[in-house]
Structure 1
Amino acid sequence: MTSDDFARPGRSRSLQTYAALGPEQTEAVLALLAEAAKTDGQQAVSEQGRLQLRGGERDGVSHLLLSVDGELVGYAQLEDTDPVEPPAAELVVHPSHRGNGHGRALGSALLAASGKRLRVWAHGGHSAARHLAQVLGLTLFRELRQMRRPLADLDLPDPVLPDGVTVRTFVPGRDDAAWLAVNAAA
């Protein structure tokens, strides 16, 4: 565990790094993630990252907890398990504590811990995340987009398929390899 204190008038900000979180810490982080998701409309940490919160100690995974006056206001996870790619990170600041430099403190700590080789996943493309990336000297490398359409109440014509083309539902056990090949090619 490491600890850094940041001097702020009248407030005490601390940043601690753990190899694994205890049950109370885990619940506090999950509550922070839930509050952020309510505000942001999506999770700030991936499903894998949330599972790693409860998974105990795992080689190459670190948890950074940022507190102000003993209250958890920020969380980051650093995963350095890929032998080729730089370490990956995700971070979140409680919505009521944003705009106070906490994201910058977490980001700077992640950069220092990773030797300034870092991939940060920012879920949702929020302007604050883009600003933080710019402040930290990070650049957009890859952007994933989700396209959605409601499937109820559609008034679509029957499809017209070319000769020799048929459409059927996926058959588990039969179509797995072909689906994986198409997904890998995409």
Structure 2
Amino acid sequence: MTDAAPAAIEPGRQIKTLDELTPELADDVLGLLSVAARADGVQAVSEQGRLYLRHGRREGVRHFVLTVAGDLRGYAQLEGTDPVEAPAAELVVHPAHRGRGHGRALGNALLGASGKRLRMWAHGGKSAARHLAQVLGLTLFRELRQLRRPLSPLDIAEPTLPEGVTVRTFVPGQDDSAWLAVNSSAFAHHPEQGSITQR
């Protein structure tokens, strides 16, 4: 365990870096995430990150717990298990204690711990997260979007296809190479999706 120096903005602020959380502290962090999710409409830490909280020590994962006078105000997680990519991080600050520099303090702790080689995930595209990224000197590298539509009622007209065009379901063993070619072309700019192979 290491302790970061308390930042001057709020007296009594402390960030502890831990390889493992006690069950009680993990419950407190999960409670913080729940409060933040209700306020923000989106989870601040991915499902994988929440699993890391619940299941004890995991090699390459560190937890940053921000307290003020012993009261939990923020949490960040640094996951450095990818042998190629920079470590990935996520963070959250309690909604009632935002705007006091806690996000910046956690972000700086993450940058310091990763040697300033960091991928930070911000779920929901919130303006506060974009502002924090800018303050920390981070730039938007990739944006993931989820498009959804209810399946019922499916009140859309049957498509009119150009002559010679037919639509059918994918046939494994027959359509693989054609699908890979189209996918590679469509996602040529994408580091993972564009490099999918038959294997």
TM-score exceeds 0.5: yes
1:147-162 equivalent positions in 2, closer than 5 A: 147-160=147-160
**Shift of residue 151, structure 1, vs aligned partner:** 2.8
Q: Secondary structure at the match of 1:96?
A: helix
TM-score where L is the length of structure 2: 0.81
Higher strand content, 1 or 2? 1
Q: Which amino acid counterpart does residue 168 of structure 2 have in structure 1?
A: V
Q: Which moved more, 1:153-162 or 1:134-143?
A: 153-162
**Shift of residue 4, structure 1, vs aligned partner:** 2.8
Q: Secondary structure at the match of 2:12?
A: strand
Q: Secondary structure at the match of 2:45?
A: coil
State the Cα deviation string for residues 73-101 of structure 1 (Å, max 9, x = none).
Answer: 10000011111111110000010010000
Distance 1:32 1:95 in 2: 9
1:88-99 equivalent positions in 2, closer than 5 A: 88-99=88-99
Structural RMSD (CA): 2.5
What's 1:102 paired with?
A: 102
State the Cα deviation string for residues 102-128 of structure 1 (Å, max 9, x = none).
Answer: 000000000000001100000011111
Q: Is residue 7–residue 105 contact of structure 2 (8 Å, CA) maintained in 1? A: no
Say if 1:164 and 1:137 are closer, same or farther in 2 by CA, change over 3 A. closer
Distance 1:151 1:121 in 2: 30
Could you tell me which runs of 5 or more consecutive residues in structure 1 were left unpaired when the two chains were aligned.
none
What's 2:37 paired with?
A: 37
What is the aligned-residue identity percentage?
Answer: 62
What's 1:85 paired with?
A: 85
TM-score where L is the length of structure 1: 0.86
Q: Which amino acid counterpart does residue 48 of structure 1 have in structure 2?
A: Q
The aligned length equals 181
Q: Which amino acid counterpart does residue 63 of structure 1 have in structure 2?
A: H
Q: Which amino acid counterpart does residue 95 of structure 1 have in structure 2?
A: P
Q: Which amino acid counterpart does residue 166 of structure 2 have in structure 1?
A: V
Q: Is residue 4–residue 109 contact of structure 2 (8 Å, CA) maintained in 1? A: no
Q: Is residue 26–residue 54 contact of structure 1 (8 Å, CA) maintained in 2? A: yes
Q: Which amino acid counterpart does residue 20 of structure 1 have in structure 2?
A: E
What's 1:127 paired with?
A: 127
1:1-186 equivalent positions in 2, closer than 5 A: 1-6=1-6, 11-160=11-160, 165-168=166-169, 184-185=193-194
Distance 1:10 1:105 in 2: 11
